[in-house]
Chain A
């Protein structure tokens, strides 16, 4: 039951359902009554033949439009309007007060049913009051609100007329058909026009121009037809479509109303294409024409409205999409800016680290009178994992270090600084080199959270005797350049890198560096440099370069090696840090 009452409520809700005072309702009813009556008077003009039967009944359009807008409470005006519109019956001598009241009450009830059925059908099937915006709405309006509603009204009205003796038995069918079709046409033409103009009452310039052009051309086409007697009614069709495309529902309903009026008026005067052999034939021809005009006009407008809605929706979606794209772009730009800021900070930090790292490598060796020293460290990235060191262990001995921390970058650089400081500190305590290295190894092994390790050479040079004590902890094999021009590789002795194994004893090597002889320490950035084809530099090339170096200064030897590596790996990116330290025992000036 609630379902039915909900459906009823929804179907009967008018376009303007706001509450109104009783007085307002009375005024509204009077206004609609007046409009209904005026429209009823006009019908007389449309009457065809001696019986003055109208092919179109505009009051039904007024009644339906008023009910759409105001709802069932406007129905008293509809009833009374129809009641008084029966006045032509008064000219019939058979009319009595009683059968006038009975007959017109019957047609009045018919009009009420018509208006209610029209409203409920459209509302039930389409939930709108404006049958202009979708093709389905147009079909429901024309079949339901117009034809079906008028059918019921025609049946009730004809029955009342017949029951009261105003229609003889043999005219019941034709009376019903003309009654029904005239009402349907009234709703489809004038009802639609009233609804379209009520929804959008204030015409803009464009609509005014359309209206004027439509009225003038309708008149002109009609005049042409009357004057020339040619059936040029099809000229109305492009005019109708133009009005619809240009000004929408208002344009098309105005055009179809104007066309209808002019065609009906012409036919009543016996001119035009719709004058049939009998009056009924004329009426049916007109109905057919009106049906085509309204259906075509309204459907065209509905399709146009749907297309516009689709275009509007598309434009809205596009705008939303564009806004989203703009938002995302701004978001990305902001993230990019933050990233750049972060990158700048990292770059600054790295630059600082580079400066700090460079500053702990000794570069001035001028204080070592008996020993020629040259050193270079060239990082592959901003900071290096390689380092070298030269320091006096005591008054007679020099400490020499070259080391390579596993990995590259900041972690390696930090580990390098730790190792360098640790090794220098331990060496200064006077421990022998193998013990120094063992000590550093254990410390690095214990304090090494990220599993790094260091290959290193630590050597002590006794400046006076040229005696060198050297520990090679998993590092590249040093080269000694001899006075006779030969270059020999100092083999490794089985020591692992630092930080790999705990409690490890490290083996020492001892040899003497003669005057003019050099010790060349380096990292594998040299021997494992690539050329463009992926080939390696290798130890042999290094030996070739270092041969016959008796007459060279440490600096020259160093430049020769670095130059050799650079020439070899020209056109490639430096893959690893490149470090070398060259020690030359000078000839004694005093001796």
Chain B
């Protein structure tokens, strides 16, 4: 798993590439807590994430809960059908705003 962080306007973008399972869940959790503690909305680019395990999903739940507690919008962008399926059967899709691309997600963020 690779995580790169960048800023587009006032939003923080996290780009996750690779498999997200228990071997990297701890690192991802630290990263999302770090991002959530800062100002600005959050867009997670999942275009390069090909798998997420249940341990990996926990990081996304933590991110969603942190964002909600701090009144931030959080969007997932570009996820593959397989990943979308995992989020769906895990009941987590409705925690996030889902977009096809990062650009669409950024454009839809609240001002």
Residues of A bordering B, CB below 8 Å: 406, 451, 453, 455, 473-476, 491-497, 500-501, 504, 524, 527-528, 530, 534, 536, 575-576
Contact = CB atoms under 8 A, between A and B. Distances in A.
A453 B89 contact: no
Nearest to B26: A575
A386 to B, nearest CB: 13
Contacts of B92: 474, 496, 500
Contacts of B57: 474
A530 B23 contact: yes
Q: Which 7 A-B pairs have the closest CB atoms?
A: A496-B91, A528-B22, A492-B89, A495-B91, A524-B54, A451-B65, A494-B91
Contacts of B55: 524, 528, 576
Given A530-B23, A536-B23, A455 B54 contact: yes
A450 to B, nearest CB: 10
B36 to A, nearest CB: 11
Given A455-B54, A501-B95, A536-B53, A492 B23 contact: no
B4 interface: no
A406 to B, nearest CB: 6
Interface string B49-74: 00001110110011011100100000
Interface residues of B, number: 21
Contacts of A536: 21-23, 53
B90 interface: yes
A530 B25 CA distance: 13
B67 to A, nearest CB: 11
Given A451-B65, A494-B91, A528-B21, 15 more contacts: A406-B58, A451-B66, A453-B65, A491-B89, A492-B90, A494-B90, A495-B91, A497-B90, A501-B91, A504-B91, A524-B22, A527-B53, A528-B55, A530-B23, A534-B23
Given A451-B69, A492-B89, A528-B54, A501 B22 contact: no
11 contacts: A406-B62, A453-B61, A474-B92, A493-B89, A494-B89, A494-B91, A504-B91, A524-B54, A528-B22, A530-B22, A575-B22
A374 to B, nearest CB: 23
B62 A496 contact: no
